[in-house]
Structure 1
């Protein structure tokens, strides 16, 4: 009788030990607190599961690193935790925290890229949000390997970093961010491409022209007219004579465009001295400017001048243009 009881006692002991272990694991996987505020937790790129679990325990977000590691391995997710910045709370059970790390539910930041921003301005904005180093972004958008992999033959990605409101996580490389912006450009371009085919205008030329239109006016309804002026001048073999192109080619521009700047043949972007389009885009144009470049207004305008209120006066002849310049410059000097 006693001999029969021994296996039963051993089995009972094993069952009780198993139950105790399960209770302990379950307790260690439960939330540390009933309520707690969310905190930022960063999973470094390439960090192993053990290090992540220990960091979570040290941050008092989970009860036990070993139990967290066991759960991840039991689920087959030991290699699936994604790098990034997370908002986590001690009120979350370990299973929910693991779910978030596996799904990559990282914190994202709003990045507004306005129409007409240059790639340098975009880099500065990304750096201000601590998303990437300014120098790293500047190098990425000029990297021939990245540019080639995106299907472009240009010297940089200027013109192809689409202006939009983005939500980006920390931890992306500069190249990855550039790819996101270019992907949005490609979507916009694909919707407009039929117009390019009609005009027999190659993509790079269209983007260059759109980038100039973008910098010349902030009034949407003027963009097709501005584009028509440049299209008409190009068709007649006239120089574009666009101030923004000159400014783009001046290093460390101080805000004051001088006569010697307009006369400088050493500036390849000086459209007062060089015929045709400049070597590349001078900004990153939005959809309206791209559309204007591909479908300019039907006009015979060859000139325009600022009316000092953001809008422009358009002229067909040089005499009309001189009269408009005198009129609006006089009004500017008199403060009207």
Structure 2
């Protein structure tokens, strides 16, 4: 084989081969994502790159790769090439596995609506199609989720959304990651807490939305569970806005008066399902809350909260951290 390759190179005009190696096919304006699948001949990939305008000659690239001993060492995956790359650079990417990645990170606590908006802004999926995938009843039923949506079951973390992946495939991957965590780390402990999986995820999603400081998540979880034991309404601000508008830390009187299935100012118990997708620390906070007497909390304005055991103390904190600063701010206008 080596003799045949050497003969082929000798028969080629040296200037042509040297020119091919030294000059890219274009000016870098054309970019293409190409899949190098397992078992796919390098020759076929080279021909595709030539057809797409990334290489000036697929035949010469194949010859070059064989001379370099790289034709059998290329790594499978998706690659992003442009026509401003020299052949040596393209081959080097294939040999080192410098594959294309389109990473998407779902933050802890984000709702499916927020995830859909992020994906649309990144140009990965449209908001409508991603949300439709989250509500795919057949898929949810297949995965054992008895809920109208995948809300709460999308595992926060990073995902590589390769070309060709559908919205359903990405949602399924997110759900499976969450289910694996719940199966491996959580389900045996649910019985001890007396919670269903839906109640766990619902409480954890509320903790995620309320907490700014990670260290306060267990305290917030304890407040919610203390109130539930006493039959008190949870009165959680983010629940008043779920499905209505994005939660930005503030709610109005009109917000808390709205009659929605999730508004815990109006309903006497937990919402029917999660209001976001909780991470591990919020789930752990619900599973293992501290024993504290607190029934109330209010934001101090710096991300932290003041926790209180009775209404009088809470009203004092509200006046100190919310009403007094607002009145002072109005006075300076």
Deviation per CA, 1:131-168: give whole Å up to 9, x if none.
22222211111111222232211111111212223333
Q: Does 1:312 align with 2:305?
A: yes
> Which residue of structure 2 aligns with residue 186 of structure 1?
179
> Which residue of structure 2 aligns with residue 91 of structure 1?
87
Distance in 2 (alpha carbons) for counterparts of 1:253 and 1:307: 18
Distance in 2 (alpha carbons) for counterparts of 1:146 and 1:192: 23
Distance in 1 (alpha carbons) for counterparts of 2:268 and 2:17: 71
Distance in 1 (alpha carbons) for counterparts of 2:289 and 2:323: 30
Please state how far the C-alpha of 1:272 moved relative to its aligned partner.
Answer: 1.0
Q: Does 1:247 align with 2:241?
A: yes
CA 1:160–1:55: 2 relative to 1, 3 Å: same
Please state how far the C-alpha of 1:213 moved relative to its aligned partner.
Answer: 0.4
**Higher mean C-alpha deviation, range 88-97 or range 269-278:** 88-97
Q: Does 1:195 align with 2:186?
A: no
**Higher mean C-alpha deviation, range 179-188 or range 209-218:** 179-188
Q: Does 1:41 align with 2:32?
A: yes
Please state how far the C-alpha of 1:257 moved relative to its aligned partner.
Answer: 2.8
Superposed counterparts of 1:1-336, under 5 Å? 32-34=20-22, 36=24, 40-43=31-34, 55-58=48-51, 59-61=53-55, 63-64=57-58, 84=78, 86-87=80-81, 89-92=85-88, 106-189=99-182, 190-251=184-245, 257-265=251-259, 267-335=260-328
Distance in 2 (alpha carbons) for counterparts of 1:220 and 1:97: 40
Please state how far the C-alpha of 1:57 moved relative to its aligned partner.
Answer: 1.5
Distance in 2 (alpha carbons) for counterparts of 1:248 and 1:91: 53
CA 1:251–1:96: 2 relative to 1, 3 Å: closer
Please state how far the C-alpha of 1:210 moved relative to its aligned partner.
Answer: 0.2
Please state how far the C-alpha of 1:297 moved relative to its aligned partner.
Answer: 1.4
Distance in 1 (alpha carbons) for counterparts of 2:89 and 2:17: 6
Distance in 2 (alpha carbons) for counterparts of 1:148 and 1:279: 18
- Higher radius of gyration, 1 or 2: 1
State the number of aligned residues.
Answer: 307
Deviation per CA, 1:87-112: give whole Å up to 9, x if none.
37541599889889xx9x74102322
Aligned CA-pair RMSD: 4.0
The answer as to whether partners of 1:29 and 1:62 remain within 8 angstroms in 2 is no
The answer as to whether partners of 1:263 and 1:273 remain within 8 angstroms in 2 is yes
CA 1:254–1:194: 2 relative to 1, 3 Å: closer
Distance in 2 (alpha carbons) for counterparts of 1:317 and 1:324: 11
Please state how far the C-alpha of 1:124 moved relative to its aligned partner.
Answer: 1.8
Task: Give the SS at the match of 1:169.
Answer: coil
**TM-score normalised per structure 2:** 0.75
Unaligned 5+ segments in structure 1 are 1-16, 72-80
The answer as to whether partners of 1:213 and 1:289 remain within 8 angstroms in 2 is yes
